[in-house]
Structure 1
Amino acid sequence: MSSRHTTAAGDPLFDLTGRTAIVTGASSGLGRRFAEVLAERGAHVVAVARRADALDALAEAHPRQVLSAPCDLTDEEQARDVVKRALAWQGRIDILVNNAGITSVQPAEEEDTATFGAVMDVNVNALFRMCHYVGRVMLDQGSGSIVNVASINGLVASWTIPEAGYCASKGAVISLTRELAAQWADRGVRVNALAPGYFPSELTEDLFMGEAGERRFRRMPMRRGGREDELDGALVFLSSNGSSYMTGQTLVIDGGWTAV
């Protein structure tokens, strides 16, 4: 990824130089993009996902800025170890981007509780686990910003795609974001959520294809899905001093989907 962002120098509100970030789900798609954007802004990024080869490739592309940290976040011990690795590498954690997530697309009457529970385990339980362990570090520091990646499907029904577990999980992420923000606001730790609309990724690529994809985007004001770079500004804003008086909020980036 080539650098397309204003350099941190002369842009103090959005300067991330010297900060340490953990980005989960960083092996591909939006997560990889998030890791690269934060690294380009000067942050040292601990890239977390299950696929070690993809993380290693990301670290090789940014050898001084990115640390590959393969991990299954549904495992308590592995999640704790990631936090320990980040502290051993840089001595502090300033930013946590909880991006890891899965979905199951099937009608609710066919989605069994095991499948529903597996989605909740990754999208909610693992996210809370990282908030818990990283939050403790940030509270000891007296500073930090947590960005939980939710979805517009935590605010409105998916409608065109049957995914009850995913929608429930993203609604839980938004509610949890508010609660953690309220608990930690006077201790220097901010917690906000980013709610993307439809952006291209491994999970969503089929939604952009063919006549069905065209019909889906006709109903929204911008008449298109998002480009991968159109979350960059929101991510940097929530991660940086630019949002220093903002906590407990959900920033929706969806081309107007939820406005109509």
Structure 2
Amino acid sequence: MLHADGAPVTKVGGKSLWPIQCTLVEMPPPMRDRADATMILGAWLGGTHPNRDLLWCYIVQQIHDLFKNGIIISTDAGEKLKFNIRAQYATFDLPALAQNCNIIQFNGYDACPDCDIHGIAIGRQVFYPYSATPAAPKTDHDYTTLSIQNTTVTASKGIKGPTPLTKILVFPDQIAIDYMHLVCSGHFKTLITYWEKNLLPGVFDQSSNYLISIILPHSFRYQFIPLVQYSQWKTKMFR
């Protein structure tokens, strides 16, 4: 499983670190989530977003070689064991998804990595309203062909150009959906806004009091804050 994201490392100067992390999914959770079980395949440090090809090219090539050759390990008894390697999927948050997969940002038209829904502008925002007719899905063929064609923005289906990741992943099937931002801080935050406006007086306050009465296990590094202060919640609190 591959993962890449950017994080600021300095308060002044705007330097960010973009590590590429790798986890063996055969290891059971939570063991595979430990820091000492995570491999760092590469990293980019700079004041701008990383160059996609420079960051991924050699890493993808080495992973592709592992697909063909596997890994051979010699045991103490002299026995040789061969392990086949494949990429399960990659995870990105929405900004990193656009950067690494070379697609339109999440707040633009044709931003969905999975289907051809176009989106409509309402005011200064682009919305993707519900439709009883599902949009046509994007395919791996779309990502490998449209990325190298000189087409219009609409015809490109939001695919801006090639990415090295198409050599080791099937797009978009092996790109995990960003549940935290799409559902937690996106859809669910919108639902809470509607509840605050439409619930009977006092119901929202009662829900808030119930929430703060819950004591989370000591392994959680935070406790719930009142529901009436949801605008101050961090994304993880919407889970």
TM-score normalised over the length of structure 2: 0.30
Higher helix share: 1
TM-score normalised over the length of structure 1: 0.29
